[in-house]
């Protein structure tokens, strides 16, 4: 082992990954892009905790989508209790 | 030393690459190449059709590929697993023009067939690389002509219980035939299950020359 047993975290728990994985950029999988209606959003964080790819960031200015990794699965749209997230066909956007 | 590009220089060989979305259009991608190669086999040509497992197609929405080879002569490159220089590229879903290098390695005079409602001018904007060898873009709204069949029946070499060309595969294969004449349309109709969708796609598919798209800006 590269670190001594004393330094192994309790129960083997490690901090959640904070870096992006450049080897697995999944943005090209997306056919529908999530769009947030900031007026409806209550910042309940249900989408943030439900996103399987951790592509939603709870920023101080509101929820932000990381489109480099968002696969467009639509779970955020499904779980949003106030219907603030809509899915728009990806080709409607030129960027 | 012989360059690896010229190792299998086969003048009569046509390579077909179909791009699709994992799981959802797994069958449709396979159907396009199977329908075209089965029709070509009826004409006495040498054919191969297979799916790319390197793409890990079990993941929903991942871009996956299915390949076909049609040749007048026996295919010498039959153990080459990927079509490195496709002549025909088919997209079962329009968003694949964005962010996926679909035109990699295409030969001069290659055609691109897309299942879309949008005009070819709009799709052309998203093609960043490889358009110098592209001859034309064929658009057909296959999704309105047939219903996509989501099944893993027939995947990984198992028997396809749903039938070849039951879903989007039939109209897309018909659009390929209209654009390239790679097989006789009559022979394709004998193979595909959804004959009505294939016929209307053959009529409705629109061919846009890339030259005119470039000139239009």
pLDDT for res A11: 76
Cβ distance A27 to B99 less than 8 Å, yes or no, reads yes
CATH code of A55's domain: 3.30.70.20
Q: Is A74 on the interface with B (CB under 8 A)?
A: no
Q: Is residue A77 part of a domain?
A: yes
Which tokens hold the place of B21? 């979305």
Q: Chains A and B: how many Cβ contacts under 8 Å?
A: 35
pLDDT for res A22: 77
Cβ distance A89 to B95 less than 8 Å, yes or no, reads yes
Q: Is residue B1 part of a domain?
A: no
pLDDT for res A18: 63
Cβ distance B95 to A94 less than 8 Å, yes or no, reads no
Q: Is residue A80 part of a domain?
A: yes
Q: Which residues of A78-91 are buried (b: 16+ CB within 10 A; e: fewer)?
A: eebeeebbebeebb
H helical segments located in chain B: 26-42, 120-124, 142-145, 169-180, 185-191, 195-204, 210-216
Closest CA of chain B from A82, distance in Å:
27
pLDDT for res A81: 97
pLDDT for res A15: 65
Q: Is residue A19 part of a domain?
A: no
Which position has the token pair 């082992």?
A1
H helical segments located in B56-191: 120-124, 142-145, 169-180, 185-191
Strands (E), B43-125: 46-51, 63-71, 88-91, 110-115
pLDDT for res A17: 60
pLDDT for res B161: 84
Q: How many CB atoms sit inside 10 A of residue B198's CB? A: 27
Q: Are A28 and B63 in contact (CB under 8 A)?
A: yes
Contacts with B99 from chain A: Cβ below 8 Å: 27-28
Judged by average pLDDT, the poorest of A74-78, B27-31, B55-59, B208-212 is B55-59
Q: Is residue B6 part of a domain?
A: no
Strands (E), A1-95: 32-36, 56-59, 62-65, 85-89
Q: Is residue A8 part of a domain?
A: no
Q: Is residue A69 part of a domain?
A: yes
CA–CA–CA angle B160, B163, B168 (5° rounding): 110
- How many residues make up chain B in this entry? 217
Which residue among A71, A89, A91 places its CB closest to the CB of B61?
A71
Q: Is residue A62 part of a domain?
A: yes
Which tokens hold the place of A85? 């997230």
- Percent of chain B surpassing pLDDT 90: 75
pLDDT exceeds cutoff 70 at A86 = yes
Mean pLDDT computed over B196-210: 95
Closest CA of chain B from A87, distance in Å:
14
Q: Is residue B5 part of a domain?
A: no
How many domains does chain B fold into? 1
pLDDT tens-digit map of B106-152: 999 999 999 999 999 999 999 988 899 999 999 999 999 999 888 88
* Range(s) of the domain holding residue A84: 25-92
Helix (H, G, I), strand (E, B) or coil at B127: coil
Q: Is A94 on the interface with B (CB under 8 A)?
A: yes
CATH code of B72's domain: 3.40.920.10
How many domains does chain A fold into? 1
Q: Is residue A48 part of a domain?
A: yes
What ipTM does the predicted assembly reach? Answer: 0.83
- What value does the mean pLDDT of chain B take? 92
Closest CA of chain B from A67, distance in Å:
12
Q: Is residue B2 part of a domain?
A: no
Question: Which residues are paired to B50 by β-bridges?
Answer: B67
Q: Is B7 on the interface with A (CB under 8 A)?
A: no
Q: Is residue B67 part of a domain?
A: yes
DSSP state of A86: E
- What value does the mean pLDDT of chain A take? 88
- How would residue B195 be classed by pLDDT, with cut points 50, 70 and 90? very high
* Range(s) of the domain holding residue B116: 11-216
Q: Is residue A17 part of a domain?
A: no
Cβ distance B98 to A90 less than 8 Å, yes or no, reads yes
pLDDT exceeds cutoff 70 at A52 = yes
């Amino acid at each position: 082992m590269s670190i001594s047993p004393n330094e192994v975290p309790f129960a083997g728990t490690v901090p959640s990954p904070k870096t992006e994985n450049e080897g697995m950029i999944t943005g090209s999988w997306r056919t529908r892009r999530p769009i947030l209606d900031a007026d409806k959003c209550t910042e309940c964080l249900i989408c943030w905790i439900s996103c399987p790819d951790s592509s939603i960031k709870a920023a101080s200015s509101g929820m932000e989508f990381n489109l480099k990794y968002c696969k467009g699965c639509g779970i955020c749209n499904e779980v949003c209790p106030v219907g603030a997230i809509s899915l728009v066909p990806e080709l409607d956007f030129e960027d | 030393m012989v360059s690896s590009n010229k190792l299998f220089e086969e003048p009569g060989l046509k390579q077909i690459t179909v791009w699709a979305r994992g799981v959802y259009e797994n069958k449709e991608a396979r159907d396009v190449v199977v329908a075209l190669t089965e029709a070509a086999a009826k004409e006495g040509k040498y054919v191969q059709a297979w799916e790319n497992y390197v793409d890990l197609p079990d993941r929903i929405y991942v871009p996956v590929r299915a390949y076909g080879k049609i040749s007048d002569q026996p295919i010498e490159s039959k153990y080459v697993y990927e079509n490195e220089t496709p002549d025909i590229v088919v997209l079962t879903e329009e968003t694949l023009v964005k962010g996926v290098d679909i035109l990699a390695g295409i030969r001069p005079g290659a055609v691109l067939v897309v299942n879309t409602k949008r005009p070819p001018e709009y799709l052309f904007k998203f093609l960043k690389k490889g358009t110098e060898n592209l001859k034309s873009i064929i658009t057909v709204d296959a999704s309105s002509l047939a219903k996509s069949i989501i099944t893993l029946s027939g995947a990984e070499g198992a028997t396809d219980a749903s039938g070849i060309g039951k879903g989007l595969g039939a109209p897309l294969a018909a659009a390929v035939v209209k654009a390239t004449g790679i097989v006789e349309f009559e022979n394709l109709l004998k193979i595909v299950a959804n004959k009505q969708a294939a016929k209307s796609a053959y009529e409705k598919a629109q061919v846009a020359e890339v030259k005119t798209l470039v000139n239009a800006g």
